[in-house]
Amino acid sequence: MPTRIVKRTAKLADGRDLIYYDDADTRLGPERRIDTRRLDPRPPTAVMRQDVLTGEWVSIAAARQARVVLPPADRDPLAPQTPDNPSEIPDQYDVAVFENRSPSFGPALPGEVTGEPPAPAGLGDIADIGFGRERVAVGRCEVVCFSPAHEGAFGDLTPSRARTVIEAWADRTAELSALPGVQQVFPFENRGKAIGVTLPHPHGQIYAYPYVTPRTARVLDSVRRLGPDLFERVLDSERAGGRVVLAGEWWTAFVPFAARWPIEVHLLPHRQIPDLAATDEAERDELATLYLRLLRGIDALYDDPTPYIAAWHQAPVHTGRDSVRLHLQLTSIRRGADKIKYLAGSESAMGAFIADIPPDAAAARIRDAVASVPMPVHP
């Protein structure tokens, strides 16, 4: 942890981990109030079932049905606690990370599972296929609060705060990757009601999966077929083409050749890095301002904020570390000022996408929008 960003660990009333990350220019003191709530026991760890037709695993996490949906500001569960709002975070904060109370994966880890169904017994067990296969959905799910504000998104942050969030992502990636049974770590942000967001509070999540996700498995197959330098070749091809929308010394953002979504931008580092934990200080510093400018450019496309999913694809914990490159995939279902691309029959049922907007045309619009946004500058 860089000396200018301070990490402070704590526990919530039911034993869940809570981690504070204080900005380099924080105005907060070192002390934090403890969580004194009386909480019910956490729900049991979910069970996942295998689809015998595809081999994919589905977590059955019924406790998620009890999530709070679009609460008023005085009942925001991610705001600092007040006498009238017994929220999840007991004190003021810059950035806070805590274990999800009703996670899709975890909190149990493999050595903590007894009885049936069992925990996954490694990648070989996960890769097997058969009828009626069930496993405990071990792993971890965490919430990353970008700010104590009730509404907003990553693009609304200051460069200093953005840098703190990036530090939190990198630190949590390293910590979660070290947990037994975790095969892949996925930080992401959902933004906007059109995406299905249930809390307007500026936040993201991190999933630590007990398997390698289906998309990453397909990427690994492409690497096996085309070579371990696949991402280097992709980046070289895109930088030589006409779909780059933003570039710096360490990162390049572009609309991919076969973009599926009306708005889709990939952001890649210029060297082979498996995950955020492997980035260096210079890469994290540049990312804080470059990423803010990209998100603000996406918002500048229309008169109101753009709904999106910001997905940080990272290499699996135990495979593909020298060939699968960290990259952001920013996508939006928005195909016009008042038009949404819904996933209908071909996309939802068959996984066969039909693009509404040519990627080259989308790149030109996004590039112009990004160019209209000034580069965020640290104070």
What's the DSSP call for residue 151? S
d(CA 167, CA 285): 10
Phi, psi of 288 (to 5 degrees): -55, -40
Q: Assess whether the previous peptide bond of 274 is cis (omega < 30° from 0).
A: no
d(CA 372, CA 369): 5
SS3 (DSSP) at 215: helix
Write the CA distances from 231 to 213, 236, 271, 322, integer angstroms: 18, 9, 9, 11
Contact 277, 171 (CB under 8 A): yes
Environment class of residue 346 by beta-carbon count within 10 Å: exposed (0-12), middle (13-18) or buried (19+)?
exposed
CA atoms within 13 A on the CB side of 24: 17
Concatenating the DSSP letter of every residue in 286-330 gives: HHHHHHHHHHHHHHTTSSSPPPEEEEEE---SSS-TTTSPPEEEE
At residue 257, what is the residue type?
F
Structure token digits, residue 121: 């017994």
Catalytic positions, written as ranges: 203
d(CA 213, CA 312): 13
Write the CA distances from 347 to 221, 261, 266, integer angstroms: 22, 11, 20
The counts of H helices and E strands in the chain are 7, 16
Q: How far is CA 55 from the centre of its chain?
A: 24
Contact 307, 194 (CB under 8 A): yes
Q: How far is CA 173 from the centre of its chain?
A: 11
Contact 104, 61 (CB under 8 A): yes
